[in-house]
Structure 1
Amino acid sequence: MQNLTVLGTGVLGSQIIFQAAYSDKQVVAYDLNDEILGNLPARWEYLKPRYLAEVPGATPEKLAAAVGRIRASSDLADALVDADIVIEAVPERLDIKQSTWEQVGKLAPEKTNFCTNSSTLLPSDIAPFTGRPEKFLALHFANEVWSKNTGEVMGHPGTDPAVFEAVAQFAAEIGMVPIRIHKEQPGYVLNSLLVPFLNASAKLVVNKVASFEDIDKTWRIATGAPVGPFQIYDIVGMMTPYNLGKDSDDADMREFAEFVKREYIDKGWLGKGAGRGFYDYGGQ
């Protein structure tokens, strides 16, 4: 599978686009309008120094070649015209994902394999909307894909085993370590571990138990971890905890979502990729 289309060019979508292009794939970056797509050159300029510092063998020439393998389009039919594989990275809401895949299923070539990058939703809740559920599964990336390079591959009961293995192979080809998940699990492996941890940290802040800086400091010192939970929130980006928390059954998580919106999102402090989230990254 050489031709990839990525639906959604936010923090993680743009990382998937760049990583696949760096790995010699031809990539179409799709988003809703040209104004959104106009932000992509700035994302590439943010990612280039990260690759130079953190990816062995990265050179300015290789990074420039990667950018040359990326084409942007706000026309969905055009974006899908020659896709071997589609990875969807739209907002983490079931209704948005279902409606997106309903459109994709009508427009994509018969050859195309379909993947969602959803971090919490089950493939079986989306697959019927694609019109070809046997070709649909999840391929979930961790944030900062060039270094935290797991690719969680999770099908649903109707996924064709050959498609499952082809997607696992594709993940390896773009530098991921395929993690084969044998049974549908909300949160897969990574987020089954990570989300309760981040929720616990959010509740400590909401209930004014400690500052986010001291919560991070406690975790780093006591466990030897390189980053604390609020540094992870900054890597993930503020829109994810907001979207997950605003309609939660848990009052603390709803309050945390409103806190994140009021104190960070409304100020344009969207996380590390935007130069500021809980922490100030100096405009990088």
Structure 2
Amino acid sequence: MKIKNVTVCGAGVLGTQIAFQTSFHKFNVILYDISEEPLEKAKAKFKSLSEVYKTNLHATQQQVDQTISRITFSTDFKEATKDADLIIEAIPENAKIKKKFYVQLGKIAPVKSIFCTNSSTLLPSMFAQETGRPERFLALHFANNIWKLNTAEIMGHKTTDPKVFDTIVEFAKAIGMIALPIYKEQPGYILNSLLVPFIRSAMALYVNDISDPATIDKTWMKASGAPIGPFGICDIVGITTIYNINKMAADTKDAHAQKVVKMLQENFIDKGKLGVPTGEGFYSYPNPAYESADFLKQ
């Protein structure tokens, strides 16, 4: 199975990064979204990513120019997927939205296409039947800041074809990722099985008025030697993603999650403070307080 043409569905924070990283490694990429607005934002983001890649990866101007030239933008679902060897879904972390998406995708995508979900918490088996090709469907989960935190968790489900699984492991390596195969379905995969409880504990300290985000982050960073704390991580992951994860728990009557959802809705979502992408979340960007030399001093 050879992958050459990749379609990324969803021009949000991670979808945009996945498209750029994949094109940077010389794959043909189509970035699809339902309207022009997110695609225009992605085009602007590619300009800033170009500078990041030149700084962090020592990419040349020619390399980033060629990267952008290999990316096509589309709001036509059928046209965007008609030649795809691989389709990576990076749409909102909502089971109903994803199921509807896969039902539509399964009807129009070529028989050859492999489908991957970039879901951070949901299991591929939740959508496998909706795809119409469960044996060619699995999860390929990236962390934010994909060029630097270059992890790719690959997780199939019971009927994923082992050859398809191996193809995606090799694809992940081909686009500069550290491939992390997961051999059994696990909610939260590896990264979020560790990260979500960590964030939950930090949120509990905050919403229960035990301490404030900066102090909680400072405690973790100083005591553990970590370069960033849980609330700094929330800003990088994106407040919307943190909200959606807690919303799913809140819908099951989880009292803590309900409290977190209310706090995030009122203080962040409604005010457009969505983390790094909007320049403000628990911290202001660029140059958040936790990066200053004084942050860990008395």
Normalising by structure 1, we get a TM-score of 0.96
Aligned to 1:96: 97
Partner Cα distance (2:287, 2:228) in 1: 20
Matches of 1:71 and 1:251, distance apart in 2: 44
Q: Give the C-alpha shift of residue 243 in structure 1.
A: 1.2
Instruction: Tell me how far 1:172 sits from its aligned partner.
Output: 0.6
For 2:218 and 2:47, the matched residues in 1 are separated by 30
2:46 corresponds in structure 1 to 44
Q: CA deviation at 1:283?
A: 9.3
1:280 maps to amino acid: S
Judge conservation of contact 2:154–2:179 (CA < 8 Å) in 1.
yes
Secondary structure, aligned partner of 2:270: helix
Q: Structure 1 residue 210: deviation in Å? A: 0.6
**Aligned counterpart, 2:4:** 2
Is 1:186 matched up with 2:190?
Answer: no
> Whole-Å Cα distance in 1 between the matches of residues 258 and 69 of structure 2?
42
Q: Deviations over 1:239-266 (max 9, x none)?
A: 1011121242322222212212221222
Could you list the per-position Cα deviations for residues 201-226 of structure 1 after superposition, in whole angstroms to 9, with x for gaps in the alignment?
11111001111001111111011111
After superposition, residues 115-130 of structure 1 pair within 5 angstroms as: 115-130=116-131
Counterpart pick for 1:261 among 262, 265, 271: 265
d(CA) in 2 for partners of 1:48, 1:16: 13
- One of 263, 276, 279 as aligned partner of 1:275: 279
Amino acid at match of 1:272: V
Return the letter of the residue paired with 1:6.
V
Q: 2:295 maps to which residue?
A: none
In 2, Cα distance between the equivalents of 1:127 and 1:271? Answer: 32
Cα pair distance change 1:256/1:104, threshold 3 Å: same
SS of the aligned residue for 1:38 comes to helix
Letter of the aligned partner of 1:104 in structure 2? L
In the alignment, structure 1 segments of 5+ residues that lack a partner are none
Using structure 2 for the length normalisation, give the TM-score: 0.92
How far does residue 50 in structure 1 lie from its aligned partner after superposition? Answer: 2.1
Match of 2:15 in 1: 13
Alpha carbons of 1:205 and 1:53: their partners in 2 closer, same or farther (altered >3 Å)?
same
Letter in 2 for 1:142: A
| Equivalenced residues, count | 283
| Residue 105 in structure 1 maps to residue 106 in structure 2 | yes
1:30 aligns with 2:32: yes
CA RMSD between the two structures: 1.4
Distance 2:240 2:44 in 1: 19
Aligned equivalents of 2:55 and 2:223: distance in 1?
28
SS at match of 1:267: coil
* Aligned mates of 2:258, 2:51 — CA distance in 1: 36
Give 3-state SS (helix, strand or coil) of 1:152's partner.
Answer: strand
Match of 2:296 in 1: none
Partners of 1:195 and 1:36 in 2: CA distance? 27
Contact 1:219 1:228 in 2 (8 A): yes
* Percent identity (aligned): 48
Determine the C-alpha separation between the residues in 1 that align with 2:7 and 2:234. Answer: 27
Deviation string 1:111-150 (CA, Å, 9 cap, x unpaired) is 1001001111111111000001000000011111101111
